[in-house]
Amino acid sequence: MDECKRKMCCLQLFGLVLIGCFAFGIYASSGTIFYDSFDESFEKNWIVSENEDYSGVWNHSKSEGHDDYGLLVTQKARKYAIVKELDTPVEFNDGTVVLQFETRLQNGLLCGGAYLKYLRPQEAGWTPKQFDNKSPYSIMFGPDRCGGTDKIHFIINHKNPKTGKHVEHHLNSPPPVPGDKMTHVYTAIIKPDNEISILIDGEEKKKANFLSSEDFEPSLIPPKTIPDPDDKRPEDWDDIKNIPDPDARKPDDWDEDAPIEILDEEAEKPEGWLDDEPDEIDDPEAVKPEDWDEEEDGEWEAPKIDNPKCEDAPGCGEWKRPFKKNPEYKGKWHAPLIDNPNYMGIWKPREIPNVDYFELDKPDLEPVAAIGIEIWTMQDGILFDNILIASDENTAASIRDATWKPKFLVEKQKQREEEQAANNDGLKGIQKSVFDALYKIADLPILGGHKMKVMEFIEEAEKKPNIVVGIILSLAVVIFSPLLKIYLASKKKRGKVDVAPKKDGVKNSTTEVSEDATSPRRRNTRRDN
């Protein structure tokens, strides 16, 4: 049966791959602007930076457990830089632009980046071999985690149309990095209506608007007014909200010198206190080392140990009366605070028009001329794959289904199996404890002739752990049946009472009378009748 299920799963997975490939064939030709699956070695298309700071080695390597290749980070605690120039720069005009790539953190990510930089056209004379952290980009997108940082970056390097300076604008509240070691696909959909959507594994995790002051820090559109840098706080400005009451006087009975604690005069030395015993004594088993030289090392003294006589005693040595909190302590007197009648509020400089203010209908994103990976990481095993720039969401979705989804399903199934195996190991330990307890119960004398039946049930349960719950319930019935009988028998005996001799000479007799029949309420009822 398991073999059949396994074959069915393989067939389903194969069918899913075929469907994905079919969809990929439909959309890839129409909406794909740039795509690299890394099926072939990266060395033909990608240029490794020759900057000496970037000593990390890249490999063309398979993803663990798959036949699919990617671009692999191979060494820990290294800086990496590699770049691919595009044949034609990608413009952000009136259409949708989709940025998408896969990353697998095969050894996890404690501290490092796994993001991409979409470089804008570089200055004249620049070559890919010069690529480094100073190479200007238009967009930076992808995972980053280290210390308090745990987010999917989305940063645009936007040119201020008034000053001509480029400013980094960070997406506020970005989604966190997935915490597992599986393949994940990251998608940024940049729409012509100024909306940006961040997807992880095809699921939208963040939606924002480029022109919203709440979505990017700093805001792409500067504020209309700014604090006047030349405005100074007046010398007589009073911003103290509360002041000591000038009319308040210290009470006559206020003793500022009273101590915080006083001796507890009611305390008594505990009974059994060993006044003549020290807390520590010389270790009686200690022996002076043979090579001890008193002239050089001084007089030898045995090391101290806790006095064993004090272990069971309430205390040893001289008993001293403890301290307690002084009920008369008040501390230093301070006048109570009142509202300051001269309070003028918190001073702020006046607002003036912002000379750098400008209006913006849409962000002026510069073209993407190259794709670069420039990271520092403490982990190896970071695999990049299926880097895509597309002009529509359907193309990105089809490639996602064709390349990422089959791998993810395999990895997810493996994760479930590993978790199930771990749970089974834990269950086995629990089952052993249960069976050990059941065998001890089987030896209880109260089971009498039921012991053999209990032992048979336990042995059957050990052979068939998958039905252990049902067998334990059956054991409970067998074990507690004699206990119930004993309890009922003892209750029945308690119900028998001796009736005293009647005054009219009737013979003594023992009558079974229930506890309800002897209650005051029942006796009163009899008298009424």
In tens, the pLDDT along 280-300 reads 999 999 999 988 888 888 999
Residue 148 CB contacts under 8 Å (≥ 6 apart), including other chains: none
Count of CB atoms situated within 10 Å of the CB of 324: 13
Is the model's pLDDT at 526 over the cut of 80?
A: no
The residue-averaged pLDDT of 251-262 equals 93
By the 8 A CB rule, do 29 and 399 touch?
no
Smallest CA-to-CA distance from 105 within 181, 35, 51 is with: 181
Q: Are residues 375 and 426 in the same domain?
A: no
Q: What is the pLDDT of residue 424?
A: 73
Domain that holds residue 474: 420-478
Residue type, 106: Q
The residue-averaged pLDDT of 147-155 equals 95
65 phi and psi, to 5 degrees? 85, 0
Q: Are residues 377 and 410 in the same domain?
A: yes
Residue 510 CB contacts under 8 Å (≥ 6 apart), including other chains: 496, 498, 499
Q: Give the gyration radius of the chain's Cα atoms.
A: 42
Residue type, 496: K
CA separation, residue 255 to residues 258, 329, 330, 331 (Å): 6, 8, 7, 8
Token pair for residue 226?
A: 């700014």
CATH code for the domain in which residue 37 is found: 2.60.120.200
Token pair for residue 284?
A: 């009686």
Query: Distance between CA 444 and CA 243 in Å, rounded?
Result: 78
Query: Distance between CA 123 and CA 137 in Å, rounded?
Result: 12
To the nearest 10 degrees (0 to 180), the angle between helices 405-442 and 451-463 is 160
Q: Are residues 397 and 474 in the same domain?
A: no
By the 8 A CB rule, do 151 and 176 touch?
yes
Query: Distance between CA 425 and CA 432 in Å, rounded?
Result: 11
Q: What is the pLDDT of residue 419?
A: 86
218 phi and psi, to 5 degrees? -75, 165
By the 8 A CB rule, do 140 and 153 touch?
yes
The helix (run of H) or strand (run of E) holding residue 85 is: strand 78-90
Residue 326 CB contacts under 8 Å (≥ 6 apart), including other chains: 258, 259, 260, 261, 262
By the 8 A CB rule, do 281 and 309 touch?
no
pLDDT (tens digit per residue) in 464-500 = 655 555 656 666 666 666 666 666 666 555 554 444 4
Q: How many domains does the chain have?
A: 2
Q: Tell me what percent of the residues of the chain surpass a pLDDT of 70.
A: 77
The helix (run of H) or strand (run of E) holding residue 336 is: none
Residue 455 falls inside a structural domain: yes
Query: Rounded to two decimals, what is the model's pTM?
Result: 0.63
Residue 99 falls inside a structural domain: yes
91 phi and psi, to 5 degrees? -90, 145
Considering 152-156, 449-453, 507-511, the range whose residues carry the highest mean pLDDT is 152-156
- Beta pairing partners, 196: 190, 208
Query: What single-letter DSSP state applies at residue 223?
Result: P
Q: Are residues 45 and 150 in the same domain?
A: yes
Residue 14 falls inside a structural domain: no
Is it true that the peptide bond before 218 is cis, omega within 30 degrees of 0?
yes
By mean pLDDT, which of 5-19, 47-61, 321-335, 397-411 is the weakest?
5-19
Residue type, 254: W
* SS3 of residue 264 by DSSP: coil
Residue 525 falls inside a structural domain: no
pLDDT (tens digit per residue) in 412-452 = 999 989 888 887 776 566 666 776 777 777 667 666 666 66
The residue-averaged pLDDT of 312-324 equals 93
Is the model's pLDDT at 268 over the cut of 70?
A: yes
Smallest CA-to-CA distance from 381 within 35, 83, 74 is with: 74
By the 8 A CB rule, do 384 and 70 touch?
yes
Residue 79 falls inside a structural domain: yes
Residue 93 falls inside a structural domain: yes
Q: What is the pLDDT of residue 93?
A: 82
Q: How high does pLDDT run on average in the chain? A: 84
Q: Are residues 79 and 109 in the same domain?
A: yes
User: Tokens 């695999």 belong to which residue?
Assistant: 383
Residue type, 155: I
Kindly report the length of the chain: 529
Query: Distance between CA 140 and CA 105 in Å, rounded?
Result: 19
Quickly list H helices, 384-404: 393-399
Query: Distance between CA 410 and CA 406 in Å, rounded?
Result: 6
The residue-averaged pLDDT of 257-273 equals 93
Q: Is 106 left (phi over 0), alpha (psi -120 to 50) or beta?
A: alpha
- Beta pairing partners, 200: 186, 203
Residue 11 falls inside a structural domain: no
Query: Distance between CA 528 and CA 522 in Å, rounded?
Result: 10
Q: Are residues 105 and 202 in the same domain?
A: yes
Q: Are residues 367 and 466 in the same domain?
A: no
Q: Are residues 474 and 387 in the same domain?
A: no
Query: What single-letter DSSP state applies at residue 403?
Result: I
Token pair for residue 3?
A: 């073999």
User: 86-104 in b/e burial notation, b at 16+ Cβ within 10 A?
Assistant: beeebebeeebbbbbbbbb
Q: Are residues 372 and 445 in the same domain?
A: no
CA separation, residue 413 to residues 9, 164, 180 (Å): 10, 52, 14
Q: Are residues 409 and 381 in the same domain?
A: yes
Count of CB atoms situated within 10 Å of the CB of 373: 25
Tell me the pLDDT band of 511, cut-offs 50, 70 and 90. Answer: very low
Residue 263 falls inside a structural domain: no
Q: What is the pLDDT of residue 426?
A: 63
Q: Are residues 118 and 57 in the same domain?
A: yes
Is the model's pLDDT at 28 over the cut of 70?
A: no
- Judging by DSSP bridges, how do beta strands 280-282 and 304-306 pair with one another? antiparallel
CA 172, 174, 176 angle in degrees (round to 5)? Answer: 150
The helix (run of H) or strand (run of E) holding residue 98 is: strand 97-105
Q: DSSP letters of 192-220? A: TTSEEEEEETTEEEEEEETT-TTTEES-S
* SS3 of residue 449 by DSSP: helix
Is the model's pLDDT at 501 over the cut of 60?
A: no
Q: Are residues 401 and 429 in the same domain?
A: no
Is the model's pLDDT at 512 over the cut of 70?
A: no
